[in-house]
Chains A and B, each alone.
Chain A
């Protein structure tokens, strides 16, 4: 079967948060700039400017390590509102080229051009987008042009910053087949290590590996791995307005310091559950699965989940399950991060419920609605559960 010819652009803003800050503050220009916060506190680098990256600073690195590598850098707290606003401006420019735009993260998007457009023509559009973004927002981006999403994503990373790269299946093979498997987007350290145990080191070896072997080792993901190593990807670009149903919704927090106090951890867990429940209700979702994530001080991370018998968006119920999962899997050692999410979400009102014998449930729903309404009006901090507050005798 011959696939319809497609032309997809992947746009990736260069050092987005740092670049936005630099456009708004002359002093940051051309300097190593690290967005993430005060390096004496806990936290991670959200973005480092290219000047800082030269010292080996990367997104996701702890601020302390970033400081060690580049003490002369300017460390600033991020301002998400700014980034969301600029991100919207970027999308506005991109949408003038094609209506089929899928924001992938705050600084990335996929754009599907009209059916049948040649890649060369896509390159031309990419150039226009880059020019307009530079002219209007003083920012640079890297764009990949390819016949599918996966290749487009790989292409935008070929030359960064300020790149524009076309990548078809042939050039993908030429460029990537000799490289280690973890150069592929979606293949992390763990997968690469697992592949090595199968004797697979390079993308080429993965691409030609019999699918049965991969399936035996990775299940359904085995097939997907082989596909991406061959540069094959049939997934569509889903514009925002036809938003793909959300699959999970969660919150996590890196703790101020490695925490091992049970009460303090449970308090944090409760706050996370309150946020998850609140977001579910705001977005009109209900979840079937509660997931708890625990990261130990050595960065070892586990997630544990439990399926419910029904659907819920009730913070208290989520906390009850999350608490059980947490206490059942936490050995009492210091933790670096905890997270809670709800998965297998269902959108919209549930079907008419069975008539109930008791009104208690209804009364609680009314209370939750009242609290939500207060938060909508006066902000999230207007009310909280007493258990979320720290007991301070002083």
Chain B
């Protein structure tokens, strides 16, 4: 195998693929890139067995071939190279990487490409295309709510649902939930749970590309963004029946400026208990009060003007959950709908972007008597 390309291009490909190289693994081959040069193109593959990334771009291929090269070393090396043409050639099991026509010359011991795991096949998979920008927005508005609890694997991913009229992403950790739906015309149906790691890779690659091509099989999903493919194992299990926990109506609705409320919550949260993150939100006519009082730490109080009618209501929240929601939204105002101090509150943007529908659910914390 022998090929050459500009340092910047090579580095970009290496960085994309490196996201799938496991930090540590019992299988030594996984710490390698599978490097293939063919038909004027360089393809890099990396996998941790759950997530695989395959990225392709043009290169000057002099001699076709494939080889497995230690990933971290190659990446670190190319990162330090000057912005010049990089030549890569393989002789037996040794790969030589050089720049500046041999001013800098390095070699690395490679591994047998036959040992590299097979990437899942998708012959009978369902294929469809999604608007990437809106998919990306939907990921950003939901992914933070994913659970990290090993005991609830079905919540360790984002639910992706697709029908003829819309697609939705939903995430929850059992105490808060976020959902964004995007309406459009689609030609497929889907109901899968995608690990957040795969979605984060899509976010990384999104810039400047319009279409996200998706292929699904029973156990895998493939996202294609430009010249990069992201294969991910799906999460098995049944996502909780989230629709039934979304309150159909509310006793009280409060409209408040998102940034003002977020800033106040952020300040008050500093003094909240480091485990429960509990703050108290009090709905008063024309304002929302946020209070914190943590034994052994201190306390604080803020008032934010709000469009709020009705009786006083005291309700406890995990400040981190509130902050996550407020950060994920981009509307000027938000609407919070309450029923009681022990039932889920619903946060929605004051105005949704066209074709979008965002909803966040958060369970209150019990306030001390």
Also in contact, A352 and B366, with CB within 8 A (given A357-B172, A360-B240, A361-B174): yes
- Whether a CB of chain A sits under 8 angstroms from the CB of B288 is no
CB-based contact A354/B149 at 8 Å = no
Interface flags for B130-154 (1: CB within 8 Å of A; 0: not) read: 0000000000000000001111110
Contacting residues, chain B, for A355 (C-beta < 8 A): 175, 342, 363-366
CB distance from A336 to the nearest CB of B (A): 20
Within 8 Å CB of B342, what residues of A? 355
Query: Chain A: which residue is nearest B276 at the CB level?
Result: A354
Taken together as a complex, chains A and B put the C-alpha atoms of A34 and B192 apart, in Å, by 58
Tell me how far the C-beta of B250 lies from the nearest C-beta in chain A, rounded to whole angstroms. Answer: 16
Chain A stretch 275-312: residues in CB contact (< 8 A) with chain B:
306, 308-310, 312
Tell me whether A329 is interfacial, beta carbon within 8 Å.
yes
Q: Residue-by-residue, is A345-374 near B (CB-CB < 8 Å gives 1, otherwise 0)?
A: 000000010111110110000000000000
Is A320 an interface residue when CB atoms closer than 8 A count as contact?
Answer: yes
B26, B172, B318: the one contacting A329 at CB < 8 Å is: B26
B311-348 contacts to A, CB under 8 A, are 318, 342, 344
| B321 nearest in chain A by CB position | A354
Distance (whole angstroms) from the CB of B237 to the closest CB of chain A: 10
Answer yes or no: A115 CB below 8 A from chain B CBs. no
Minimal Cβ-Cβ distance residue in B for A311: B151
Report whether A357 and B150 are in contact in the complex, using a CB–CB cutoff of 8 Å: no
Q: Taking the complex as formed, is B94 at the interface, i.e. its CB lies under 8 A from any CB of chain A?
A: no
A351 vs chain B, min Cβ distance (A): 9
Query: What's the least CB distance linking A236 to chain B, in Å?
Result: 32
Interface string of B40-71 (1 = CB under 8 A from A): 00000000000000000000000000000000
Residues of chain B lying within 8 A (CB to CB) of residue A76: none
Nearest residue (CB) in B for A329 is: B26
Chain B interface size, as a band, is 20 to 34
From B245, which residue of chain A is reached at the shortest CB distance? A357
| Contact between chains at B150 and A358 (CB < 8 Å) | no
Inter-chain CA distance A354–B364, complex, in Å, is 8
Are B174 and A357 within 8 A (Cβ)? yes
Q: Is the CB of B151 within 8 A of A310?
A: yes
List residues of chain B with CB within 8 A of the CB of A107: none
Q: In the complex, how many angstroms separate the beta carbon of A197 from the nearest chain B beta carbon?
A: 26
**Are B177 and A310 in contact, with the CB atoms below 8 A?**
no
Q: Are A354 and B26 in contact (CB under 8 A)?
A: no
Give bound CA distance, A31 to B289, whole Å: 84
Closest to A358 in B: B240
Q: Which of A312, A354, A361 touches B363 (beta carbons < 8 Å)?
A: A354
Asked whether, in the complex, the Cβ of A317 is within 8 Å of the Cβ of B365, the reply is: no
CA distance A354 to B365 in the complex (A): 6
Chain B residues numbered 205-254 whose CB sits less than 8 Å from any CB in chain A:
240-242, 245
Question: Are A356 and B363 in touch, CB under 8 angstroms?
Answer: yes
- Whether A245 sits at the interface, judged by CB under 8 Å, is no
Among B26, B342, B361: residue with most chain A CB under 10 A: B26
Asked whether A357 lies within 8 Å of B151 as measured between CB atoms, the reply is no
Interface of B is mostly: loop
* CB <8 Å contact, B174 and A320: no
Question: Whole-angstrom distance from the CB of B149 to the nearest CB of chain A?
Answer: 6
Shortest distance from the beta carbon of A6 to any chain B beta carbon, whole Å:
39
A329 to B153, alpha carbons, bound, how many Å? 21
Bound Cα distance from A355 to B240, whole angstroms: 16
Closest to A357 in B: B245
Residue A314 at the B interface, CB < 8 A?
A: yes
Q: Which of A309, A329, A356 contacts B150 (CB 8 A)?
A: A309
CB contacts under 8 Å to B, within A109-154, are none
Q: Tell me the complex Cα distance, A26–B366, Å.
A: 68
- Shortest distance between the CB of B114 and any CB in chain A (Å): 18
CB-based nearest A residue for B172: A357
Contact B363 A357 (CB under 8 A): yes
A321 at the interface (CB under 8 A from B): yes
- For B365, what are the chain A residues with a Cβ–Cβ distance below 8 Å? 354-355
Q: Which of A309, A354, A361 neighbours the largest number of chain B CB atoms within 10 Å of its CB?
A: A354
B39 to chain A, nearest CB (A): 36
Q: List B contacts of A321 (CB < 8 A).
A: 150
Q: Which residues of B contact A354 (CB under 8 A)?
A: 175, 318, 363, 365
Q: How many angstroms from the CA of A228 to the CA of B366 in the assembled complex?
A: 52
Q: Which of B278-334 contact A (CB under 8 A)?
A: 318
CA distance in complex: A143, B38 (Å): 77
- A354 smallest CB distance to B (angstroms): 5
- CB pair B26 A357 closer than 8 Å: no
Residues of B within 8 A of A357 (CB): 172, 174-177, 240, 242, 245, 344, 361, 363
CA distance A360 to B152 in the complex (A): 11
Task: Give Cα distance in the complex from A310 to B275, angstroms.
Answer: 13
Complex Cα–Cα for A310 and B153 (A): 13
Q: In the assembled complex, which residues on chain B have CB atoms less than 8 Å from the CB atom of A360? A: 240-241
- Can you give 22 contacting A-B residue pairs, CB < 8 Å? A306-B150, A308-B150, A309-B148, A309-B149, A309-B150, A310-B150, A312-B150, A354-B175, A354-B318, A354-B363, A354-B365, A355-B342, A355-B365, A355-B366, A356-B175, A357-B242, A357-B344, A358-B240, A358-B245, A360-B241, A361-B152, A361-B174
Name B residues whose Cβ lies closer than 8 Å to a Cβ of A.
26, 148-153, 172, 174-177, 240-242, 245, 318, 342, 344, 361, 363-366
What 9 new A-B contacts, CB under 8 Å, besides A317-B151, A355-B366? A308-B150, A309-B148, A310-B149, A312-B150, A317-B150, A320-B150, A357-B172, A360-B240, A361-B174
- Top 9 A-B residue pairs of the complex, sorted by shortest distance between their CB atoms: A317-B151, A358-B240, A355-B363, A308-B150, A357-B245, A354-B175, A309-B148, A356-B174, A312-B151
